[in-house]
């Protein structure tokens, strides 16, 4: 079953179960899929890989919004965002641990021959390519910085 079909089925289930928070998150995914499928040059469908990228973006937006709401003392709004983020997270691949990311970054550093912080761009580019969707970009960045600094 494709990711699009899974989302559509889960929307129906959430409607039957009257789960309004889950339904809101799923409808946001469906809206993003529709925009992607109908954009110029598209073939009218969304691949599972593109779908995961869209869900990942929505997940990050929810997490960032929740953080801002907490900083502003609006826990009520932050809780809504966190609940939706948790729904979105179920559709994302399992994220790698920092140790797993560190192992891949070390491989990349040896492959590109990086010797210090001046090679950050080369290492980040190659690392992001290998870890896309498997680890958070902020964690990758922190690991690359610490490894290039001699960490």
User: How far is residue 139's CA from residue 106's CA, in Å, rounded to a whole number?
Assistant: 14
Judge whether residue 104 has pLDDT over 70: yes
Q: Which pLDDT belongs to residue 37?
A: 85
Phi, psi torsion values for 134, nearest 5 degrees: -105, -15
Lookup: tokens for 110: 């040896």
pLDDT-based confidence at residue 91 (cuts at 50, 70, 90): confident
Please give the DSSP secondary-structure letter assigned to residue 119: G
The whole-model pTM stands at 0.71
Q: How many CB atoms lie within 10 A of CB 144?
A: 27
- How much is the average pLDDT of 63-69? 94
Q: How large is the greatest C-alpha to C-alpha distance in the chain, in angstroms? A: 57
Domain boundaries, the chain: 3-89, 98-148
Say whether pLDDT at 132 is over 70: yes
DSSP assignment, residue 39?
Answer: S
Name the CA radius of gyration of the chain, rounded: 18
Tally of CB atoms within 10 A around 12: 11
Q: Which of 2-11, 25-34, 98-107 has the lowest mean pLDDT?
A: 98-107
CA-CA distance, 35 to 38, in Å (whole number)? Answer: 5
Please report, rounded to a whole number, the percentage of residues in the chain having pLDDT higher than 70: 97
Residue 132: phi and psi, rounded to 5, are: -55, 125
3-89 to CATH, choices 2.40.110.10, 1.10.1510.10, 3.40.50.620, 1.10.150.20: 1.10.1510.10
Q: Give the whole-angstrom CA distance, residue 150 versus residue 144.
A: 10
Distance CA 85, CA 55 (A): 10
CATH says 98-148 is which class? mainly alpha
Looking at residue 97, the DSSP 8-state letter turns out to be P
């Amino acid at each position: 079953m494709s990711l699009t079909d899974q989302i559509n089925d889960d929307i129906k289930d959430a409607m039957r179960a009257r789960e309004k928070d889950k339904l809101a998150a799923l409808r946001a995914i469906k809206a993003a899929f529709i925009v992607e499928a109908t954009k110029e040059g598209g073939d009218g469908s969304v691949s599972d890989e593109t779908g995961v990228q869209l869900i990942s973006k929505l997940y990050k937006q929810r997490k960032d919004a929740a953080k801002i709401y907490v900083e502003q003392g609006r826990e009520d709004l932050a809780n809504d965002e966190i609940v939706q983020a948790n729904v979105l997270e179920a559709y994302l691949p399992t994220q790698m641990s920092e140790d797993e990311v560190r192992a891949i970054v070390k491989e990349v550093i040896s492959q590109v021959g990086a010797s210090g912080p001046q090679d950050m761009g080369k290492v980040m580019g190659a690392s992001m390519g290998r870890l896309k969707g498997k680890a958070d970009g902020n964690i990758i960045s922190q690991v690359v910085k610490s490894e290039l600094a001699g960490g």
